[in-house]
């Protein structure tokens, strides 16, 4: 008789754990759905078609290619701190000379392993 009572107790315990697992799973799913709804409600609305970005009057903006040169550091006897420099320590640039960018010489080797014939 005692073994039958122990088996019945273990079955009830197992069933209770399954029910508790289902309840925890249902709570997790409910919390996820509630949280995602709250995030969606707080999110900004989508822009209307008339609020979409438009192309500029003059057509699409094109890339500007120019040679830039760094600004010269001021020559002083004292050490300068970043806030004393022009641009607050950011390296400024200016438009450089009209020279083109340096290119490889024709017949030059280029980089290592480029497969070129090399300079003779």
Per-residue pLDDT of the chain (120 residues; tens, 9 = 90+): 455 555 556 777 888 899 999 999 999 999 999 998 888 888 788 889 999 988 888 888 888 777 777 777 778 888 878 777 776 656 667 777 766 656 666 665 556 655 555 555
Cβ neighbours, 10 Å, residue 71: 13
The beta-carbon contacts of 9-17 under 8 Å, at least 24 apart in sequence, are none
Q: Is the pTM of this model over 0.85?
A: no
- Residue 38 token pair: 């709250």
The residue with tokens 């002083």 is 76
What distance lies between CA 109 and its chain's CA centroid?
A: 37
Return the closest-CA partner of residue 95 out of 66, 61, 118.
Answer: 66
């Amino acid at each position: 008789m005692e073994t039958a009572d122990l088996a019945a107790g273990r079955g009830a315990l197992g069933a209770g754990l399954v029910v508790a697992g289902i309840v925890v799973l249902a709570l997790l799913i409910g919390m996820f759905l509630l949280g995602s709804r709250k995030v969606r409600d707080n999110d900004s609305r989508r822009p209307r078609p008339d609020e979409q970005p438009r192309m500029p009057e003059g057509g699409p903006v094109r890339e500007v290619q120019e040679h830039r040169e760094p600004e010269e550091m001021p020559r002083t006897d004292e050490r300068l701190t970043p806030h004393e420099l022009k641009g607050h320590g950011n390296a400024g640039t200016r438009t450089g000379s009209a020279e083109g960018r340096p290119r490889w010489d024709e017949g030059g080797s280029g980089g290592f392993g480029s497969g070129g014939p090399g300079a003779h």
